[in-house]
Structure 1
Amino acid sequence: MIESLVVFVRAIIAFFTLLIFTRILGKQQISQLSFFDYITGITIGSIAATLTTDLTSRAWPHWVGLFVWAFLVFVLQWGNLKGRTIAKYIDGEPEIVILKGKIMEETLKKTRYRAADLLKLLRSKDVFDISEVEYAVLETNGELSILKKSEVQPITPKDIGLLTPYKGLSKELIYDGKVMERNLNYINRDKEWLLNQIRAHGYGSFDEVFLALIDESNKMFIDGYRDSIEKGSEKRLE
C-alpha cells in the first residue's frame, strides 16, 4: 500500500515535470524531429519512467537528471536560434541528393542512404520517374523535399491567367449537434436561418447534424449522423 502511494506521488511529480519542460522546450521537439531530438526525447522519457517506478532509489537524483537533460536541450535550442554553427553540428545540414534528374551518389554515401531508400522516399511523394525531378533535398529530419521540373508540374489557374474566388477558412456552424453561436454571429446569421438551411438538406433539427461548415463564398457543407444512408451535401447559398 505504501509503495503504491509512493509510485502515485512520484508519477504525479514526473508527469507535471515533463509537462512543464515540454511547454518550455516548445513544439520544435515534435514538429521537426531530428535524430538528436529523438534521442533526447527517449532519454528524458526514460528518466521520467525511472523516477516514477524505481523505488530502490531516491526520487531527487532522477529529478535532477531530468532537469539537466531538459536544460541542456533548451540551451542547444537557444544556440540554434542565435546562429547556424551549433545547428550544423547537432542537426546537420540539408543535402542535395538529386540534381537535374541525376542522383548524387557521393551525397547518398555521405548520408548513408541506399538507392532503394531514395526511391522509396520519391514514391511517397508520388514521383516514379527520377528524370522529372529538378532538385531533391534530404532535410535534417529525414524528409525529402522535391522540386519537379517545370514541364512536368501541374498547370495552375495562375499559369493560364484564370482568376479564382477567394475561399478562406471554413467556419463551423454546427459541431456534434451543437450550434456554434459565435461563428453564426460572425457571419450575421441567426439560428432560424441555420435551421432553414439544414432543413433544405433534409435534416429536421440541429441534433441530426454532425458538422456544418460555411466558407467565404457562402458554400455550405453539411454532414449528418445518417452517413450509412445519406452522405454529406454541399450547397451554395443564394
Structure 2
Amino acid sequence: MFNKGGYYRENKLIGETMNETSVTIVRGVIAFATLFIYCRLLGKEQIKQLTFFDYISGITIGSIAATLTTNLNNRPWPEFVGLTTWVLLAYFLQWLTLRSRQAAKYVDGEPVVIIMNGQLMEEAMHKARLKTGDLLGLLRLKDVFDLKQVEFAVYEKNGNLSVLKKSEFQHVTPGDLQLPVKYQGISTELIYDGVVIEQNLKKVQLTRQWLENELKKLGIKSYEDVFLANLNTQGELYVDTYKDQLIHLTNFSDYEGPN
C-alpha cells in the first residue's frame, strides 16, 4: 500500500537539502567575492614578509569567511559585519604603521642584531626568543655552517635571518676583479602553456617564423609541446617542454653520508 506520509517526508527532506545547498552556494559566492575584494584592499604582501600578527589576522579573517559560508544556523549579516570589522582594523593598522614609525615598531616589532662582530648576543637572542638550534638552522639556510664565518646576523621582524659574512668568506664578484659584465635584465616570455604570446614577440621585434626555426633546432615540432619559452636580454632562448627527458631523478634520501 502506498505510504503517503513517507513520500511527503522524503520529498520534504530532499527539498530541505536542496534549499541548504542553494543557500550555502550563495553564501559561499558572497564570502569568496568579499574576501577577494578585502585581500585586494589589504595589498599583496607575501607570506614570507608577514609578521606573526599578520599571519594570525589572516587566519582569523579566513575562518570568519568560512563560517559565513557554512554556518547556516546563524544569520549571515552579523558574520559579514564581523568579517568587515576585522578587515577594517587590519587596514587601519597598516595605515597607522605607514604613518607612524613608533606605531610600526610597536605593532610589527624591530630587527634584532643576533651576532655582532662575530660574537653571539645572548640577551638579544633571549629577547627575540630565538633558541641556539633555531639560529644554527637559519644560518644553514644561508649556506653558513660555521659561526666563525659570520660578522653580523640580524633577526628580521618576519623571522628571516640576514647574514653578513666576514670579508675573507665572502664571494668574489666581477667588480672585485674589475671584470666587464653584461647587462642582465628581465627575460621575456614568448610561449606559455603551449600558446605564443604575440605582444611579447612583437615587443622584442621577432616573428613566429624565427621562433619556429629556433624550436626546430631543438627538435621541437609544435608550440603545443612547449610549457615555457623565455628570451633573455642576451638573445638566448630558454625552452622547457612538457616531456622532459630525465635519465634518473636523484633521491637525496639515498645519500648514506661520508664513508
What TM-score do you get using the length of structure 1 for normalisation? 0.89
Aligned counterpart for 1:174 among listed residues 158, 181, 191: 191
Correspondence 1:1-238 to 2 at 5 A: 1-28=18-45, 30=47, 32-228=49-245
For 1:44 and 1:211, locate their aligned partners in 2 and report how far apart those are by CA, in whole Å.
36
1:29 and 1:37 in contact (8 A); partners too: no
CA contact (8 A) 1:208 1:225 kept: yes
CA distance in 1 between counterparts of 2:172 and 2:52 reads 37
When normalised by structure 2's length, the TM-score is: 0.83
Aligned residue number for residue 11 of structure 2:
none
Q: Which moved more, 1:175-184 or 1:147-156?
A: 175-184
By how many angstroms is 1:96 displaced?
Answer: 0.4
Structure 1 range deviating more: 69-78 or 165-174: 165-174
Q: Deviations over 1:90-109 (max 9, x none)?
A: 11111001111111000111
Partner of 2:13: none
Deviates more, 1:193-202 or 1:37-46: 193-202
Deviates more, 1:44-53 or 1:175-184: 175-184
**Quick check: which has more Rg, 1 or 2?**
2
Paired with 2:57 and 2:246, the residues of 1 have a C-alpha distance of 49
| Structure-2 separation of matches of 1:213 and 1:219 | 8
Pairs aligned (count): 230
Which segment is superposed worse, 211-220 or 35-44?
211-220
Q: Secondary structure at the residue paired with 2:91? A: helix
Distance in 1, Cα, partners of 2:42 & 2:151 = 36
| Whole-angstrom distance in 2 between the partners of 1:11 and 1:176 | 31
Shift of residue 229, structure 1, vs aligned partner? 7.0
Shift of 1:194: 1.9
Contact 1:100/1:131, CA 8 A, preserved across alignment: no
Deviation at 1:31, TM superposition (A): 5.2
Identity %: 52
Instruction: Give the CA RMSD over aligned residues.
Output: 1.8
When structure 1 is superposed on structure 2, of 85-94 and 201-210 the one drifting more is: 201-210
Q: Which amino acid aligns with 2:214?
A: Q
Deviates further, 198-207 or 9-18: 198-207
Superposition deviation, residue 29 in structure 1: 6.5
CA deviations on 1:99-135 (whole Å, 9 max, x unpaired) are: 1111100011111111111111111111111121111
| Distance change >3 Å, CA 3–CA 198, structure 1 → 2 | closer
User: Counterpart in 2 of 1:236?
Assistant: none
Q: What amino acid does structure 2 have at the position aligned with 1:35? A: F
